[in-house]
Copies of this chain bind each other. A is one copy, B any other.
Amino acid sequence: MRKPTLEEVAIEAGVSKMTASRALRGVADVSSETRDRVIEAATRMNYVGNRLALSLSSQRTNLVAVVVPSMSNIVFPEVLAGISAGLDGSGMQAVFGISDYDMAKEREIIRDMLSWQPCAIIVTGLDQPEETVELLRHANIPVIQLMDLDGTPIDFNVGLSHGAAGENMAEALIAAGRRRFGYVGSALARDLRARKRKAGFERVLHAHGLGFAGQRTDDVFSSIALGKQLTTSLLAAVPDLDCIYYSNDDMASGGLFACMELGVAVPDKMLIAGFNGLDLVNSLPAPIATSRSPRRAIGEAAAQLVRQAVGIGREPMRKTIVFKPTIVGIDG
């Protein structure tokens, strides 16, 4: 039992394919009587339109391709939720791919998605290899690069400067009187934005004649458990730190739990600083510092850019949307 086609619906309703098409889409003039008959027939036959044919024929799709590096912490799911919500009501549909922070895999996913002829593509970061950039350029659709502003965008760019985020955090911590800094991170080889934050942080430390008195990193991806473990190890080796900067809030929360277990007073003796501003951080048993990144808003802004870019207007658009993270959790 094959699925009914538009033609079968049309025959059932006693009209031509074209009239049925117009009635179902609600375009142009179709007598309300005819329209009702077509819609009735379609409903009765459980007709579901074939978007492959629709898009091939009309030479446009409602697909927005989105590639994110990971789904293993809440950050990118929130971005996706923002994109999905921002696209609601536009008739457009997001299609997601996960690259696992793997540049080669990202390229293959992008190639695959482009073959579906999306009307726009959203990718994470500004540091795609040249071959991937070429692929994106030749697609002739709006390309939106998310999250990071430190680099040269292909087309549109929505996010924040991770270098500046690291710098600002270092300045705030120094202003709060901290001097003996440690660093705890993960997967820095793959997570370029974490690396940019660390680099920014160190630039400011060096400008003040300071540096990291100790650090711990690992190649696996960030988690609370890893943050706890690396912090315990770091404090065993360098006990006299008064502040630790983490690659993100997951790691920082683990750091807090390590300090609690070791009896290190947070924030009095040790200030813990992360990045993201996760919901988690607001409820933790001791305050930790973090830069609040508007993840959902970044997703929504990207969706708005897509809507404008594929819209009829084509009026001049802002090419870059800058978000500035707010630092929270530092007293004095």
Chain B residues lying within 8 Å of A78, measured Cβ to Cβ, are 71-72
Say yes or no: is A254 at the interface (Cβ < 8 Å to chain B): yes
Q: B50, B96, B135, B228: which contacts A283 (Cβ < 8 A)?
A: B228
A81 with B72: in contact, given A115-B50, A260-B285 (CB under 8 Å)? yes
Say yes or no: is A282 at the interface (Cβ < 8 Å to chain B): yes
The reply to whether B71 and A77 form a contact with Cβ atoms under 8 Å apart is: yes
Interface positions, chain A 70-92, Cβ under 8 Å from B, are 71-74, 76-78, 80-81, 84
Please tell me the number of chain A residues within 8 Å of chain B, measured between CB atoms: 57
Closest residue on chain B to residue A138 by CB atoms: B46
Binary CB contact string for chain A from 116 to 134 against chain B (1 if under 8 A, 0 otherwise)? 1100000000000000001
Report the separation of the CA atoms of residues A279 and B71 in the bound assembly, to the nearest whole angstrom.
14
Interface positions, chain A 89-144, Cβ under 8 Å from B, are 93-98, 111-112, 114-117, 134-135, 138-140
The reply to whether B95 and A280 form a contact with Cβ atoms under 8 Å apart is: no
Chain B residues lying within 8 Å of A139, measured Cβ to Cβ, are 3, 48
Question: How far, in Å, is A59 (CB) from chain B's closest CB?
Answer: 9
Say yes or no: is A304 at the interface (Cβ < 8 Å to chain B): no
The reply to whether B283 and A257 form a contact with Cβ atoms under 8 Å apart is: yes
Say yes or no: is A225 at the interface (Cβ < 8 Å to chain B): yes
Report the separation of the CA atoms of residues A76 and B74 in the bound assembly, to the nearest whole angstrom.
10
Report the separation of the CA atoms of residues A3 and B111 in the bound assembly, to the nearest whole angstrom.
14
A225 with B279: in contact, given A56-B52, A74-B74, A81-B98 (CB under 8 Å)? yes
Question: How far, in Å, is A22 (CB) from chain B's closest CB?
Answer: 17
The reply to whether B84 and A98 form a contact with Cβ atoms under 8 Å apart is: yes
A51 with B117: in contact, given A71-B77, A72-B78, A81-B71 (CB under 8 Å)? yes
Binary CB contact string for chain A from 199 to 237 against chain B (1 if under 8 A, 0 otherwise)? 000000000000000000000000111011000000000
Closest residue on chain B to residue A113 by CB atoms: B93
Residues of A within 8 A of B (CB): 1-3, 46, 48-56, 61, 71-74, 76-78, 80-81, 84, 93-98, 111-112, 114-117, 134-135, 138-140, 223-225, 227-228, 253-254, 257, 260-261, 279-280, 282-285
A–B complex contacts, Cβ < 8 Å, 9 sampled: A48-B114, A52-B61, A53-B56, A71-B78, A72-B77, A73-B74, A96-B96, A228-B283, A257-B283
